[in-house]
């Protein structure tokens, strides 16, 4: 596996070693020991989640606050997404910055999202299966988010925003400057 740091402190792109043959391919999806050796982080993932979405669905930008904060390892089983993470850690040198990457079933890339980051993704294909490992259980009272079109973040979603499919909740999320005091 190859680990490449992003422009955001403590976030990494993971490229697994793929072993193709005439039958298909094999790769190790996750190896805790190898991840710890290459990143210096020993993360105890406790739950795996999968969501299915159609082209144009945008989910995010979400995060869990306080003791319920979550680190995530995200990847795609089918289809593709534009994945976005925003560093919300006030003391981080990359605070308020974002990173974007296309994750797909074809490129097999994974993205590590540390605690203290907002996360969201835009589905680029129908029937996209998004998989993520998390290191903390969901707590409804700790859920939070920031609006996908926050003018201060200037995220380039590389998509016609008038064609987005959003949940009602995601359209009403606050802008980052409105929740700075809560971070």
Cα 142 from chain centre: 18
Specify the 3-state DSSP secondary structure of 170. Answer: helix
CA atoms within a 13 Å half-sphere pointing along the CA-CB vector of 27:
19
CA atoms within a 13 Å half-sphere pointing along the CA-CB vector of 47:
9
Cβ-Cβ contacts under 8 Å for 182 (sequence gap 6 or more): 65, 144
Token code pair at residue 72: 């995530």
Token code pair at residue 52: 């299915």
Q: What is the DSSP string of 19-49?
A: EEETTEEE--S--HHHHHHHHS------EEE
Tokens 């402190």 belong to residue:
9
Token code pair at residue 75: 């990847």
The residues assigned a catalytic role are 62, 132
CA-CA distances (angstroms) from residue 7 to 1, 11, 158? 19, 8, 19
């Amino acid at each position: 596996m190859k680990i490449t740091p992003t422009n955001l402190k403590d976030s990494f792109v993971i490229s697994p070693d793929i072993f193709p043959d005439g039958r298909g391919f094999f790769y190790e999806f996750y190896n805790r020991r190898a991840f710890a050796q290459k990143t210096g982080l020993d993360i105890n993932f406790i739950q795996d989640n999968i969501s299915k979405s159609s082209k144009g669905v945008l989910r995010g930008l979400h995060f869990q606050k306080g003791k319920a904060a979550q680190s995530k390892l995200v990847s795609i089983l089918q289809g593709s997404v534009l994945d976005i993470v925003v560093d919300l850690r006030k003391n981080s040198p990359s605070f308020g910055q974002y990173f974007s990457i296309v994750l797909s079933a074809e490129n097999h890339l994974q993205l590590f999202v540390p605690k203290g980051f907002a996360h969201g993704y835009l589905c680029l294909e129908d029937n996209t299966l998004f998989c993520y490992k998390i290191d903390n259980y969901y707590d409804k009272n700790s859920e939070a988010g920031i609006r996908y079109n926050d003018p201060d973040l200037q995220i380039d979603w590389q998509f016609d925003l008038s064609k987005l499919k959003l949940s009602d909740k995601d359209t009403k999320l606050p802008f980052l400057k409105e929740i700075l005091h809560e971070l």
